[in-house]
Amino acid sequence: MREEPEKFAAEVVGKVLESWAIKAELESQVEESEGEQAVVLKIKTEEPGFIIGYHGQTLKDLEFITNLIVYRKLGEWNRVILDVGDYREKRKEFLETLAQRTAERIRGIVARAEHPLDNGRKVKVTISIGGCIYPQDAQNESHLLRMADKALYLAKEKGKNRVVFCGD
């Protein structure tokens, strides 16, 4: 009988957390992610920071090790995604906001600058910026570039000196 990857992944993570003396509830489900099925394991605990670590590094490491153990035990690749206290969603929102602010800041810097020409005159230029976020806007590098290009053309259509991200 084939062992279910979601149950085995929950068992692996449960044992690791137990060895760290962390009490947690684990809820596993199979979801569609990036065009393939993935085991999503939600961890509920009163100590999320210890599992998440600095910028999510401990969580990423635990996820990596869990994926390797599940693969070695079951003999086939089953993507396992770990989440603690909706950290992934909050981190995604933070990074999207950061990308938007950074693009706006660059646009503003370019718009305020004066550029000297060879004849001594100074000109002002503006830029339009199009962007998108991986993986929600695109599943691979070439698709990401096409989507960013579409966002750039949309920014240009809306007028000069604009920032547009996919989904805006």
Q: At what angle do helices 57-74 and 5-19 cross, to 10 degrees?
A: 130
Residues 143, 78 share a domain: no
Q: Inform me whether the pLDDT recorded for 33 exceeds 70.
A: no
The residue among 58, 85, 112 that closes a domain is 85
The residue among 61, 85, 109 that closes a domain is 85
Q: How many separate domains does the chain show?
A: 2
pTM of the model: 0.70
Name the 3-class secondary structure at 9: helix
Residues 152, 114 share a domain: yes
Instruction: Tell me the per-residue pLDDT of 54-93, one tens digit each, with 9 for 90 and over.
Output: 989 999 999 999 999 999 999 988 889 999 999 988 988 8
Q: What is the mean pLDDT of residues 37-61?
A: 93
Beta bridge partners of 38: 31, 79
Q: How far apart are CA 9 and CA 39, in angstroms?
A: 8
Residues 157, 95 share a domain: yes
Q: Inform me whether the pLDDT recorded for 37 exceeds 70.
A: yes
- pLDDT score, position 34: 56
Q: How far apart are CA 38 and CA 41, in angstroms?
A: 9
Residues 96, 46 share a domain: no
CATH classification at residue 156: 3.30.70.270
- pLDDT score, position 2: 54
What mean pLDDT is reported for the chain?
90
Is the model more confident about 157 or about 139?
Answer: 157
Residues 155, 123 share a domain: yes
The residue among 85, 107, 138 that closes a domain is 85
Q: Inform me whether the pLDDT recorded for 1 exceeds 90.
A: no
Instruction: Tell me the per-residue pLDDT of 141-155, one tens digit each, with 9 for 90 and over.
Output: 888 899 999 999 999
Domain that holds residue 110: 90-165
Token pair 């339009």: residue: 128
- pLDDT score, position 64: 96
Residues 104, 56 share a domain: no
Instruction: Tell me the per-residue pLDDT of 98-129, one tens digit each, with 9 for 90 and over.
Output: 999 999 999 999 999 998 999 999 999 999 99
